[in-house]
């Protein structure tokens, strides 16, 4: 059985670790405590004596092939973008939410719907840390969900905030933090494809903390970008803008920089490869193929969100939230527009898979 050291050799050393945090978060939630994050967010073996060599950290890693077949069978996966029930364009009915959101505010509205109806106690999201960085956060109220709306660019350790406060082991009940004492047993998880992949693997194995995750909301991802000083300087020159002019960032078919004066700068995504994390070139999942619902800006008109319902739970959640929280695009060009969205989703998914396959074939070649 492969262990964490195998992850180091096979995933970390070749630069393939996506920093999803699944291995550390499981180890934390189960009270082993053998693994931890270093200052860069990279998992490492903190206490060898606490490692029981269960091998689960290796099995749930999105970079390994463990459990891939089981997930594909469970979710009736089909190429090139996984199983889906319907692809559509929607937006929040609340103009205030649309103003906060990156696209149409659908994710935020769905979370508010689930919280309002008592289907969840909270949501694992990302929250603004500074202008270009976000941190994982367990939102427990309407206000906290609203404060987490908007652009999602950097990687987040996903369940880090949650798993350190959560465990179903009776021996640890007395050690739970005040957050856990509030009774979080039903949570919505919002994450990138790699994060959805690893928590679904955990769910397949029936291990904590996924027993409390009731809804999986996935985000489209062309790859996470690094906003270092060098990258910011180059991007500023490419977009012909100054950072203090920036209002928000968005990604659809290209990289969009919305300025305070109402202007928008467009940069082709291929021009941003210099900012992309190396491991992202090996990821073949563009549209969060194992989520209940996937979301992104690709193909949708400005101010609208592309929505992909994948599971019965995802479809029902979307339909139940429509009347009060969401509205679906009903323009005169609706049929043609939706056909274009489907085509683009499939095309981008194919491209990401082809890129990942090519990178893996060349891995290790000099």
The per-residue pLDDT for range 102-123, each reduced to its tens digit, is: 889 999 999 999 999 999 999 9
Q: Give me the mean pLDDT over the 214-220 stretch.
A: 95
Q: Is the pLDDT of residue 157 over 80?
A: no
Q: Is the pLDDT of residue 149 over 60?
A: yes
Q: Is the pLDDT of residue 174 over 60?
A: no
What three-state secondary structure class fits 276?
strand
Q: Give me the mean pLDDT over the 264-273 stretch.
A: 93
Q: Is the pLDDT of residue 193 over 60?
A: yes
Q: Is the pLDDT of residue 72 over 70?
A: yes
Share of the chain above pLDDT 70, in %: 88
Confirm if 59 and 67 have CB atoms less than 8 A apart.
yes
Confirm if 6 and 58 have CB atoms less than 8 A apart.
yes
Q: Give me the mean pLDDT over the 243-254 stretch.
A: 86
Mean of per-residue pLDDT scores for the chain: 86
pLDDT at 208: 72
The first and second tokens of residue 279, run together, are 């491991």
pLDDT at 365: 57
pLDDT at 133: 63
pLDDT at 337: 97
Q: Is the pLDDT of residue 285 over 90?
A: yes
pLDDT at 20: 86
- DSSP secondary structure letters along 68-104: HHHHHHHTT--TTT---SEEEEEEES-HHHHHHSSSS
Weakest-pLDDT range from 126-140, 155-169, 221-235, 327-341: 155-169
Q: Give me the mean pLDDT over the 318-327 stretch.
A: 95
- DSSP secondary structure letters along 181-239: HT----EEEEE-HHHHHHHHHHHHHT-TTGGGEEEEEEE--S--B---HHHHHHHHHHH
What three-state secondary structure class fits 21?
coil
**Higher-scoring residue by pLDDT: 128, 158:** 128
Share of the chain above pLDDT 90, in %: 62
Sequence ranges of the domains in the chain: 81-223+286-362, 225-275
Cα separation of 86 and 2, whole Å? Answer: 39
Q: Give me the mean pLDDT over the 285-305 stretch.
A: 96
Cα separation of 331 and 101, whole Å? Answer: 21
pLDDT at 112: 97
Q: Is the pLDDT of residue 181 over 80?
A: no
pLDDT band at residue 335 under the 50/70/90 scheme:
very high
Q: Give me the mean pLDDT over the 126-132 stretch.
A: 66
CA of residue 13 relative to chain centroid, distance: 24
Its CATH architecture, for the domain 225-275, is Roll (3.10)
């Amino acid at each position: 059985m492969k262990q964490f050291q195998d992850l180091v050799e096979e995933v970390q050393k070749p630069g393939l670790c996506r920093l999803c945090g699944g291995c550390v978060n499981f180890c934390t939630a189960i009270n082993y405590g053998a693994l931890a994050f270093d200052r860069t967010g990279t998992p490492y073996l903190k206490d060898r004596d606490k490692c029981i060599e269960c091998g689960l950290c290796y099995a749930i890693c999105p970079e390994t092939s463990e459990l891939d077949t089981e997930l594909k069978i469970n979710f009736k996966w089909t190429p090139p973008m996984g199983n889906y029930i319907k692809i559509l364009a929607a937006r929040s009915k609340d103009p205030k939410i649309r103003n906060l959101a990156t696209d149409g505010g659908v994710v935020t509205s769905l979370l508010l719907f689930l919280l309002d109806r008592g289907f969840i106690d909270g949501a694992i999201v990302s929250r603004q840390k500074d202008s270009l960085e976000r941190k994982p956060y367990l939102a427990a109220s309407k206000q906290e969900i609203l404060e987490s709306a908007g652009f999602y660019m950097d990687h987040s350790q996903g369940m880090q905030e949650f798993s350190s406060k959560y465990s179903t082991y009776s021996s640890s009940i007395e050690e739970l933090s005040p957050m856990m004492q509030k009774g979080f047993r039903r949570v919505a998880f919002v994450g990138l494809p790699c994060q959805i992949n690893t928590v679904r693997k955990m769910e397949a194995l029936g291990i904590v903390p996924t027993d409390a995750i009731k809804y999986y909301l996935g985000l489209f991802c062309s790859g996470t970008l690094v906003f270092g000083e060098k990258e910011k300087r180059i991007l500023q020159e490419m977009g012909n803008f100054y950072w203090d002019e920036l209002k928000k960032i968005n990604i659809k078919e290209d990289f969009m920089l919305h300025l305070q004066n109402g202007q928008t700068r467009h940069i082709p995504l291929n021009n941003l490869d210099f900012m992309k994390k190396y491991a992202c070139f090996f990821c073949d999942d563009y549209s969060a193929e194992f989520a209940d619902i996937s979301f992104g800006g690709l193909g949708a008109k400005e101010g609208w969100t592309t929505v992909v319902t994948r599971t019965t739970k995802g479809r029902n959640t979307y339909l139940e939230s429509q009347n009060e929280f969401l509205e679906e695009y009903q323009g005169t060009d609706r049929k043609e527009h939706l056909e274009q969205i489907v085509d683009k989703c499939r095309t981008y998914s194919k491209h990401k898979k082809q890129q990942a396959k090519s990178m893996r074939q060349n891995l290790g070649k000099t």
